[in-house]
Amino acid sequence: MAKKSMVNREVKRAALVKQHASKRAALKAVINDQSKPVEERFKATLKLAQMPRNSSATRVHNRCQLTGRPHAFYRKLKLSRIMLRDLASFGQIPGMVKSSWEGGRTRSMNDPIGDMLTRIRNSQMRGKSTVMTPASTLRARVLDVLLSEGYIRGYEKKATTNGQGEFEISLKYYEGTPVIREVKRVSKPGRRVYMGVKDIPSVRNGLGISIVSTPKGVMSDANARAANVGGEVLCTVF
C-alpha cells in the first residue's frame, strides 16, 4: 500500500490538471500554429510557462486506483499487476480468466504436478465444480491419493485431439467451502526434496496429508510410514 500523502498529492495534481486543461490546450494551439505571428506565439509560450507546474498532465503519475502502487501499472484497467492478479484469480474482472482455467489447452510445462495443483486451487477459489488438466501417469497417481483421502469426488479421463488426453477432476465442497483448504508444492523441478520414512512431515498434526512418491508407488504419508518407505515429498494437502 502506498503512502496516503503520496496518493493525496496525485489526487490534487489530477484536479489541477483538469482545472487548467482547456487553457493549456488553447495556449499550445497558438504556439503550434505556424500562421500566427512570432510575437504572439512567444507571448503564448511565456503564459504557458507561468502556469502552475503541476497543471501539466505529465506531472501526474500512474498509480493503482485501489492501492496507490506506482509500479507495474496497467493503463487500460488502472490497476497494478498485483491487484490485477488478485482480482482475476477471484473472477472479479469480467471477461478475464487465467490460462489454467481454460480446459481446451495443453501446454508444455516444467512442473506438471505444480500446474495441476494450481488449477485445482484456482478453480476452487471460483467455486467451480470441475477442472481440466492434461493427463499423465504421475498426475493420475496423485489424484488417486486425493480421491482415497476424500479431498476430491473423483476424476475421469477424456480424449483430446492430440492423443494425450485430459483429466476432468470433480472438486469437493462442504457447505459451500472447499474441502481442500491449503495445498503446497514441496519438491520442485529446481529443488527436489527427498525424505526418509522418519522425516516425512506430518501436516497439521495429522489433519492433513503429505503425498510421497516412493519405490512402492505414490501414497500418503500415513501409508508410507506403514510401508516403512521414504521418497520424494510431492506436496502437502490440508
Give the span between the Cα atoms of 199 and 225, in whole angstroms: 10
The set of residues, in sequence order, having a beta carbon less than 8 Å from that of 78 and lying 6+ positions away, is 62, 64, 65
Architecture of the domain spanning 183-237: 2-Layer Sandwich (3.30)
Tell the CATH superfamily of the 62-96 domain. Answer: Ribosomal Protein S14/S29 (4.10.830.10)
Q: Give the fold, CATH level 3, of 103-178.
A: Ribosomal Protein S8; Chain: A, domain 1 (3.30.1370)
**Every domain of the chain and the residues it spans:** 1-61, 62-96, 103-178, 183-237
> Which contacts of 60-68 are long-range, i.e. CB under 8 A and separated by 24 or more positions?
60/10, 60/13, 60/14, 60/17, 61/10, 63/2, 63/7, 63/10, 64/2, 67/1, 67/2, 68/1, 68/2, 68/3, 68/4, 68/6, 68/7, 68/10
pLDDT in tens, 35-88: 999 999 999 999 999 999 999 999 988 888 888 888 888 888 889 988 888 887
Give the span between the Cα atoms of 103 and 173, in whole angstroms: 21
Is the pTM above the cut of 0.95?
A: no
- Is residue 233 within 8 Å of residue 113, measured between CB atoms? no
pLDDT in tens, 83-109: 888 887 766 777 666 655 444 443 445
